[in-house]
Amino acid sequence: MLVIPAIDIIDGKCVRLFQGNFAKVKEYSLNPVEQAKVFADMGLEHLHLIDLDGAKDGTPKNLNVLEQVVKSTPLKVDFGGGLRSVSAITDALNAGAWKVNVGSMLSNNSVSLTNHSLNEKIIAAVDCENYLVKTNGWQNQTTIKVDELLNQLVGIGIYHFAITDIARDGTLSAPAVALYEDLRQKFSKITLWASGGVSSHSDVINLQKIKVDGVIVGKAYYENKLNLKELLRCLQNE
């Protein structure tokens, strides 16, 4: 199972939100590029880089940070935040993204990507609360159920998903294992990444047991709750 560290950006700084609330922001000391170098030095291969300014405003604001991270590290960077058009997705890929996290665009207008050549580069970033999808930087509540959206997206050829339970995100309260287990059983062939609430090695092992393909780790690392080097060794020994 992949361990994917997360960097969230506001005003060019590393931050974490509590349950997606832009009013509850905590800044961390290193800038995004320096933090990415730290992750690369640990032996990690992936990075989940999210432009929260872009997510809020609807268009990417930190593509320059993406470019700098890609030039400065060997990390495979999946980038998200404000990617709500094909042109925005293309801009992120041209800036060096390995894949792009697309959320609101898929929930609001999935038809625009039907049979599109970009689909293999897309990670469907599905953010939810109580099994219902939220969009626009977690500010818009929909009536779409998570499994309904996944079924639609698999139908148009998207197979990579990063599912965030907003109620868990930034809380260190343990991931939504029941949600991921349900989705894994319903969608056995997708690539499934879990995000939100991870706070311990046991949380990660529990996700591995239900065959989640990757886990995105954020606040647990920044708050020194989870040693990523030790976690990598632990997973390699499983």
CA proximity to 60, closest of 97, 113, 110, 29 = 97
Query: Residue 23: which CATH number?
Result: 3.20.20.70
Structure confidence at residue 109 (pLDDT):
60
Residue 127 appears among annotated catalytic residues: yes
Residues 6+ apart with CB under 8 A from 108: 135
At 171, the pLDDT band (50, 70, 90 cuts) reads low
- Say yes or no to pLDDT of 143 above 70: yes
Long-range contacts of 147-154 (CB under 8 A, 24+ apart): 147/182, 147/183, 147/186, 147/187, 149/106, 149/107, 149/124, 150/124, 150/126, 150/183, 150/186, 150/187, 150/190, 151/187, 152/110, 153/106, 153/110, 153/124, 154/187, 154/190
- What's the structural domain count of the chain? 1
3-state helix, strand, coil in the chain (%, to 5): 40, 30, 30
Residue 129 β-bridge partners: 132
Q: What is the pLDDT of residue 113?
A: 72
Which range in 78-87, 135-144, 229-238 is most confidently predicted, on average pLDDT? 78-87
Complete DSSP assignment for 40-79: HHTT--EEEEEEHHHHHHTS-S-HHHHHHHHHH---EEEE
The answer to which of 63-67, 114-118, 143-147 has the lowest mean pLDDT is: 114-118
Q: How far is CA 163 from the centre of its chain?
A: 7
User: Are residues 95 and 67 in contact, defined by beta-carbon separation less than 8 angstroms?
Assistant: yes
The residue written with tokens 């897309």 in the block is 122
Q: How far is Cα of residue 149 from the mean position of the Cα atoms in its chain? A: 17
Q: Pick the residue with more confidence: 187 or 19?
A: 187
pTM: predicted TM-score of the whole model, two decimal places: 0.89
Here the tokens at position 63 are 């593509």
Average pLDDT, the chain: 88
Domain that holds residue 108: 2-237
Q: Give the tens place of pLDDT for each residue, 199-213.
A: 899 999 999 999 999
Spatial contact of 7 and 50, defined as CB atoms under 8 Å apart: yes
The share of the chain scoring above pLDDT 70, in percent, equals 88
Q: Which residue has the higher pLDDT, 190 or 15?
A: 190
Q: Which of 51, 127, 165, 169 is catalytic?
A: 127
Closest CA to 80 of 156, 164, 142: 164
Nearest CA-CA partner of 163 in 183, 131, 121, 193:
193
Q: What is the pLDDT of residues 8-30, one digit of tens each?
A: 998 888 876 665 566 566 777 68
Strands (E), the chain: 2-10, 13-18, 21-27, 46-51, 76-80, 99-102, 122-129, 132-135, 140-145, 160-165, 191-195, 214-217
- State yes or no: is 8 an active-site residue: yes
